Chains A and B, each alone.
Chain A
Amino acid sequence: MREKLVMLLAGLAAILLAYNLHHMFLVLPNEVSQDFIFRIIFFHVPAGIVGMIGFFVALIFSVWYLAGGDLRYDSVAASIVEVSVVFSIVNLVTGSIWARVIWGIWWTWDYRLTSQLVCVLIFVGYVMMRRAIDEPTQRARLSAALTIFGCFDSVVVWKSIEWFRNNHPGPVLSIRTGGGNMDPDYERTLWLNFLALLIIGAALALVRSRQESMEREIDSLRRAAHV
């Protein structure tokens, strides 16, 4: 059942991504002031949103694990965090490439960049911590606690760095501005690509959570064999 779902999601994402790539590279015109490089926004913004949504979905699964003690929720939370870290890194890397072309620098300590980097570092710490714990129940408990701290901290980091430094371009999507800051055709492509990346993220999280469950099963068999 899970394999079929993964295949279905992967197929759907492939079709959507092919359509989006065709549309963004062959149909849409270059942006007036930024030229070709503007197209990086179609990956940069959706990857950032998918990553951020993932961390908060992982928070929900972590709280469910703490409430019920079902290790499947821990596997799902861990898988989603790992996938979200990857998407957040994609967001940082694509932003950095855009900054090099437009600003002439790879990095600036702007609040969005810094808060995203700190968020990635928190959850990289999460991934490293999981590798350092062998006992599954202990690993699940401590991971859930770290996810809760990480999500709270991400919000505080976001607000504090916003006051600290700010030279990132302002919001352009209609859900933040009420419309008028981005061509509707561009925005439609961006949201379609968000959907494609979200589906890819869900498929990857499903594959990864299956690996986590298998790892746990193999580990418990190994322990039983040693008793």
Chain B
Amino acid sequence: MNLFTQAFAVARKDLAIELRTKESLNAAGSFAVVILVIFSFAFESFSDEMKEFGGGLLWLVFAFAGALVFNRGFARELPNECLDTLLASPLSGAALIIGKAFANFAMLLVVELVSIFTFGIFYNVNWLSEAGSLTVVFALATWGVSILGAIFGALTVNLRLRELMLPVIIYPLMVPILIAAIELTNEVLNHRPIGGQMQWIRVLVASDIGFTGLAWMLADTILVN
């Protein structure tokens, strides 16, 4: 099996477990909605300014909800020594990390879909006409965040205070992705073309390629048990 076949096998396994238990999706989805409701007390939710803050608000929600998803990624392999079994299998370290990133990506996109619908209704923002551009921005930014979540989920899985250490480490690393995603999402919510903001698309593409390359190279170093 080549690397991507192995990675898809890992992602399929994780998504199958998630579909049966729904532990990450239920927690992250509910958390995202709760945060969106709480933010409505801080902002005038029907003002035009909402379109200027919308990107920031949404990506804060995705980052917080993402940490819940990423924490579970490797933690679900701890009971019954599943992680040791995975590491002892012929699966390569890079395939395991990229497979986990695929699963993170799919789960986070579901959370984002739930959040954007909730956001549109609660904050009276019409985003449906810009669904294409929004999909491009979400896909590019979510992959970068997901690969970071996978590699640092692996790195922190055996640490004391794992749930605390993961956000402390990955939020600063996510900064370039979050800045670019917030800027581009604001452009989309204001019905402006994202083609005029190529530097942010370049930041997302560079982060995606850079983090994926580093994750690929360092996977075996991080996963040695």
Residues of chain A whose beta carbon lies under 8 Å from any beta carbon of chain B:
66, 118, 121-122, 124-126, 128-129, 132-133, 138, 141-142, 144-146, 148-150, 152-153, 156-157, 159-161, 163-164
Interface status of B37 (Cβ within 8 A of chain A): no
Q: Would B159 and A122 count as touching, CB distance under 8 A?
A: no
Q: Is B168's CB under 8 angstroms from A128's CB?
A: yes
Contact present for A118 and B165 (CB under 8 Å): no
Out of B151, B168, B210, name the residue touching A156 (CB < 8 Å).
B210
**Interface segment out of the listed B6-14, B43-51, B128-136, B173-181:** B173-181
**Contact of B203 with A132 in the complex, beta carbons under 8 Å:** no
In the complex, per-residue mask of B186-225: 1 if CB is within 8 Å of any chain A CB, else 0 = 0000000000000110010011001100100010011010
Contact of B206 among A126, A148, A156, A163 (CB under 8 A): A156
Task: Find out whether the CB atom of A141 lies under 8 angstroms from the CB atom of B221.
Answer: yes
Contact B168 A125 (CB under 8 A): yes
Question: CA of A127 to CA of B186 in the docked complex: distance in angstroms?
Answer: 35
Do residues A125 and B175 form an inter-chain contact, with CB atoms below 8 A? no
A122 to B173, CA, bound (A): 7
Q: State whether the Cβ of B42 lies closer than 8 Å to any Cβ in chain A.
A: no
Q: Which residue of A lies closest to B207 (CB)?
A: A156
> Do residues B203 and A156 form an inter-chain contact, with CB atoms below 8 A?
yes
B82 at the interface (CB under 8 A from A): no
Q: Name B203's closest neighbour in chain A (CB-CB).
A: A160
Closest to B182 in A: A164
Q: Given A141-B221, A145-B222, do A159 and B169 touch, yes or no (CB 8 Å)?
A: no
Q: Are B155 and A146 in contact (CB under 8 A)?
A: yes
Distance in angstroms between the alpha carbons of A150 and B172 in the assembled complex: 9
A160 touches B180 (CB 8 A): yes
Q: Identify the 6 closest CB pairs spanning chains A and B, nearest first.
A: A121-B172, A125-B169, A160-B176, A156-B176, A132-B159, A122-B172
Q: How far is the CA of A122 from the CA of B174 in the complex (A)?
A: 10
Given known A66-B221, A142-B222, A164-B183, contact A129–B165 (CB-CB < 8 A): yes
Give the shortest distance, in Å, between B223 (CB) and chain A (any CB): 10
B121 at the interface (CB under 8 A from A): no
Whole-angstrom CA separation of A108 from B130 in the bound complex:
33
Give, as a whole number of angstroms, the nearest-CB distance from A96 to chain B.
Answer: 19
Asked if B161 lies at the interface with its beta carbon under 8 angstroms from chain A, I say yes
How far in angstroms is the closest Cβ of chain A from B75? 15
Contact among B151, B165, B179, B211 with A128 in the assembled complex (CB-CB below 8 Å): B165
For window 85-141 of B, CB contacts with A under 8 Å fall at none
23 intermolecular pairs with C-beta atoms under 8 Å apart: A121-B172, A122-B173, A125-B168, A128-B165, A129-B169, A132-B159, A138-B158, A141-B224, A144-B221, A145-B221, A145-B222, A146-B155, A148-B218, A152-B214, A156-B176, A156-B203, A156-B210, A157-B176, A159-B176, A160-B180, A160-B200, A160-B203, A164-B183
Q: Does B20 contact A (CB under 8 A)?
A: no
- Write the nearest CB–CB distance from A220 to chain B, whole angstroms: 19
Q: A128-B165, A160-B203, A163-B199 are contacts. A149–B173 as well, Cβ < 8 Å? A: yes
**Inter-chain contacts of B161 with A (CB < 8 A):** 132
Q: With A and B bound together, what is the CA distance between A122 and B211 in angstroms? A: 15
Which residues from A are CB-within-8-Å of B160? 132
In angstroms, Cα B184 to Cα A163, docked, is 13
Closest chain B residue, CB of each to CB of A156: B176
